[in-house]
Amino acid sequence: MSSHRIGLLALQGDYEAHGKALERVGFPRCDIVEVRRFSDLESLTALIIPGGESTVMSMLLERFGMFDELKRRIVNGMPILATCAGLILLAKDIVGNNQMSLGLLDIRVKRNAYGRQVDSFHAPVQTIISSIGKIEGIFIRAPRILASGKEVEVLAMYQDEPVMIRQGSIVAATFHPELLPDAPVHRWFIQTFI
Ligand code: GLN
């Protein structure tokens, strides 16, 4: 029986929480693989880019010679689930910052954008996906999406701004669905793209 390889970009950040979320859902015929080097990118069915520090992640991708290959694979349609720093890493336009990004998500994003006092908060987030419904959004030093292009579909809003989006086979959230016990976003992502 053929199995799918779901990669976790494991250079930095909370990739382990994503791995646990996938394990909780327990997908048959899906192997979870930690991605740390160029050769790990081979034969992935999909990749999760976790939260963490987007500046560090882009620096490590470049240092380990993975940046261009990762970008090429995403352009060629590899499904991506990105959260928080992962979303920033994919954005075309990062406000006031010349950090390197993959530049594949047509959004303008501001890092750490909910103010210094409020580093983290929880808030209910209503998605437009019926199998996900309303979930608890866990925002940790979260970015804000200030603008998005016409190819970007908004999957969830919070305070009149998109917090979960889809562009082609890239799904990205400014919050942390991997911390939800029943992992509804991971479940939907795998069912939709794998
Ligand atoms: N503030 C982080 C960044 O700019 C993102 C925070 C997170 O991933 N929880 O990369």
- Cβ neighbours, 10 Å, residue 88: 31
Per-residue b or e along 94-104, where b marks 16 or more CB atoms closer than 10 Å to that residue's CB = beeeeebbbeb
The domain made up of 4-193 has a fold known as Rossmann fold (3.40.50)
Enumerate the domain spans of the chain. 4-193
Instruction: Verify whether residue 16 is a known catalytic residue.
Output: no
Q: State pLDDT tens for residues 17-53.
A: 999 999 998 888 899 999 999 999 999 999 999 999 9
Q: What percent of the chain has pLDDT over 90?
A: 91
pLDDT of residue 1 exceeding 60: no
Q: State pLDDT tens for residues 97-152.
A: 788 999 999 999 999 999 777 789 999 999 999 999 999 999 999 999 999 999 99
Is the CB–ligand 1 distance for residue 111 below 6 Å? yes
Is the CB–ligand 1 distance for residue 54 below 6 Å? yes
pTM of the model: 0.97
Tokens of 65: 């010679």
Instruction: Verify whether residue 178 is a known catalytic residue.
Output: yes
Helix (H) or strand (E) holding 77: none
Question: Do the Cβ atoms of 186 and 178 come closer than 8 Å?
Answer: yes
Instruction: Verify whether residue 151 is a known catalytic residue.
Output: no
What pLDDT does 96 receive?
Answer: 87
Atom of ligand 1 nearest to the CA of 112: 1
Q: Is 120 exposed, middle or buried (0-12, 13-18, 19+ CB in 10 A)?
A: exposed
Q: State pLDDT tens for residues 3-13.
A: 899 999 999 99
Q: Where are the beta strands (DSSP E) in the chain?
A: 4-9, 30-35, 46-49, 80-83, 91-94, 105-110, 120-127, 134-140, 144-148, 153-158, 161-167, 170-173
